[in-house]
């Protein structure tokens, strides 16, 4: 071997420097490479472009052929020192199972640098300094580091690289070329620079991974669905990030998860049901967070009962102080946590709403209720005590009806049958065509009819407003009402008129007298109309009548 060192010393400058971590052999680059086998020392390799004589070529081929046929002698734990890693640099190391580039200062790393390593099981790319990957010495985009053709890779370490992933969503499935990956170390990177949609796709091919390290990535949130494909995951480390909450459904598919580390974050809220699906969880570390000791943490207290209390170091903070309280020892106030205040408020609100509902029903059926009371207990209970001074005047009629002769049909067809044919109350109406005595003047007849009635009913139609007697009878009723000779005036409108069309006396009186509107053909409205009119007439009858 000393002779080999001597031969190398007088050749051209080396193209690659390597340091072996343990005894191994080098079979690298081209078929005409000189093999220099020195355990635990720095060694120099020369490529085929170096002018070598036939003796040296012969020696290299013998060593190369000897070791390429021994699978167990494949290279392991190699560390490169300041190399330029070119395209398909490792393609002739087909039996390589373990490769380490830890702490390398690499100026350029080709995207196909790991092409041909089909049997590689362990790849250590931690603490790299790869300036050309992103043009910045302190971080790089994983998009430019191709790790797609490593079918047997089981352990991948790309920690302490300040790495992130920026790419289109179609190529975001970064680990799809590693179907047998079991352990992934990605702590001390910059995954916080990776957007949420990319994070969802980035890990979707890790179906066989059992260990995932994502600590110290400055992650502030984890999108729901990020871990859905990792059905065999056993250990998940998310410590030393800036997580503030754990959303429900984040771990729903991790049925085999045994250890979950969430310590050294800023978690203040964990949604109820956030740990649903973790049926195999036995170790949960949540120390050094910002959990608040309030009612929302009670479900977490119950969840911690499945773990060994002696090993539990999880604390929460009081709402009014910074004192740390062990989660398992926190005893919330009964009144506060059972939401009695809310229950009372809801109960009161329910009672108020129920009363409003009842009030609405009563208002809707107010005339039916009042009329039913009159029918059931007698109309006297609902009548007013007469206030007029001339209470001893003889009253023959319940109401004098004032209308236009052109509207006699409605009086005969509707008003008289519904009031005078009522066997319960036997209303008596004064109709001038029927009750006026012949020979008297119209003025005397109208005034006498009003004096002999408790009320005056005006049937207001367009014909009435255009009649000559309209203003006279309105003014006379106004005078009788103010003198106390009649007790009420009731206006029944055939339709809604514009107030400017109404005579002046009527415009004043409708603000103080009862006004009814003749409804359309709906039976419910007609029924309410007649009940209201009957109650208005009963209201004017004296109690001792």
Distance of CA 339 to the CA centre of its chain: 22
Q: What is the pLDDT of residue 293?
A: 80
Q: Where are the alpha helices (DSSP H) in 130-208?
A: 196-202
Phi and psi for 237 in degrees, rounded to 5?
A: -115, 120
What are 283-325's pLDDT values in tens digits?
Answer: 888 888 888 887 777 778 778 777 765 555 677 776 555 677 7
Nearest to 123, CA basis, from 82, 175, 70, 66: 175
List all residues 6 or more positions away from 194 whose beta carbon is below 8 Å from its beta carbon. 164, 165, 166, 202
Q: What is the pTM of this model?
A: 0.52
Residues of the chain with pLDDT under 70: 1-90, 92, 106-111, 130-138, 308-313, 318-322, 328, 332-341, 367, 370-393, 543-545
d(CA 519, CA 505): 25
pLDDT of 170:
86
For residues 47 and 62, give the distance between their C-alpha atoms in angstroms, rounded to a whole number: 16
d(CA 154, CA 121): 5
Q: Longest C-alpha distance within the chain, in Å?
A: 160
Question: Which residue has 């009635």 as its token pair?
Answer: 453
Q: Residues 107-112: contacts with CB within 8 Å, 24+ apart?
A: 107/82, 107/131, 107/132, 108/84, 108/132, 109/85, 109/133, 109/145, 110/85, 110/86, 111/87, 111/144, 111/145, 111/146, 112/87, 112/88, 112/146
Distance of CA 113 to the CA centre of its chain: 46
Give the pLDDT confidence of 490-508 residue by residue, as tens digits.
999 988 888 777 887 787 7
Of all helices (H) and strands (E), which one includes residue 76?
A: none
Q: What angle do CA 226, 232, 238 make, to 5 degrees?
A: 45
How many whole angstroms from its chain centre is CA 381?
58
Superfamily the domain 378-538 falls into: Toll/interleukin-1 receptor homology (TIR) domain (3.40.50.10140)
Taking the alpha carbons of 13, 14, 18, 22 in that order, is the dihedral positive or negative?
negative
């Amino acid at each position: 071997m000393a002779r080999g060192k001597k031969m190398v010393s007088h050749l051209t400058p080396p193209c690659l420097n390597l340091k072996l971590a343990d005894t191994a052999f080098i079979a690298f680059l081209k078929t005409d490479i000189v093999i220099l086998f020195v355990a635990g020392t720095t060694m120099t390799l020369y490529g085929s472009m170096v002018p070598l004589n036939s003796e040296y070529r012969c020696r290299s081929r013998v060593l190369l052929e000897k070791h390429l046929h021994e699978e167990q002698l494949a290279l392991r734990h190699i560390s490169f020192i300041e190399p330029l890693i070119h395209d398909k640099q490792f393609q002739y190391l087909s039996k390589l199972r373990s490769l380490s580039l830890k702490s390398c200062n690499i100026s350029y790393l080709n995207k196909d640098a790991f092409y041909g390593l089909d049997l590689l099981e362990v790849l250590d790319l931690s603490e790299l300094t790869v300036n050309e990957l992103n043009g910045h010495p302190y971080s790089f985009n994983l998009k430019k580091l191709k790790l797609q053709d490593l079918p047997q890779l089981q352990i991948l370490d790309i920690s302490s690289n300040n790495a992130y992933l920026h790419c289109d969503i179609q190529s975001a499935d970064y680990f799809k070329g590693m179907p047998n990956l079991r352990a992934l170390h990605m702590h001390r990177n910059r995954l916080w620079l990776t957007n949420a949609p990319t994070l969802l796709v980035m890990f979707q091919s890790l179906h066989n991974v059992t260990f995932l390290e994502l600590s110290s990535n400055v992650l502030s949130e984890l999108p729901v669905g990020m871990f859905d494909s990792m059905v065999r995951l056993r250990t998940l480390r998310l410590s030393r990030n800036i997580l503030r909450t754990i959303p429900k459904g984040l771990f729903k598919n991790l049925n085999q998860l045994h250890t979950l580390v969430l310590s050294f974050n800023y978690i203040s809220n964990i949604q109820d049901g956030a740990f649903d699906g973790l049926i195999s969880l036995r170790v949960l570390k949540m120390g050094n967070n910002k959990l608040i000791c309030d009612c929302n943490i009670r479900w977490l207290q119950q969840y911690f009962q499945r773990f060994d209390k002696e090993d539990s170091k999880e604390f929460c903070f009081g709402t009014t102080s910074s004192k740390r309280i062990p989660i398992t020892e926190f005893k919330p106030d009964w009144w506060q946590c059972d939401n009695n205040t809310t229950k009372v408020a809801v109960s009161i609100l329910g009672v108020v709403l129920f009363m409003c509902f009842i009030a609405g029903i009563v208002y809707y059926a107010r005339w039916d209720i009042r009329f039913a009371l009159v029918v059931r207990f007698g109309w006297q209970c609902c009548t007013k005590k007469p206030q007029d001074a001339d209470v001893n005047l003889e009253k023959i009629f319940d109401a004098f009806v004032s209308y236009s002769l052109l509207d006699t049909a409605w009086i005969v067809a509707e008003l008289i049958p519904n009031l005078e044919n009522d066997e319960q109350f036997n209303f008596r109406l004064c109709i001038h065509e029927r009750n006026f005595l012949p020979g008297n003047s119209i003025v005397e007849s109208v005034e006498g009819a009003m004096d002999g009635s408790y009320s005056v009913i005006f049937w207001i139609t367009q014909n009435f407003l255009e009649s000559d007697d309209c203003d006279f009878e309105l003014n006379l009723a106004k005078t009788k009402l103010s003198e106390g000779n009649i007790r009420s005036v009731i206006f029944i409108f055939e339709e809604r008129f514009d107030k400017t069309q109404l005579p002046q006396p009527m415009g004043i009186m409708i603000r103080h007298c009862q006004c009814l509107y003749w409804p359309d053909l709906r039976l419910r409205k007609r029924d309410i109309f007649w009940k209201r009119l009957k109650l208005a007439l009963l209201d004017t009858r004296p109690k001792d009548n």
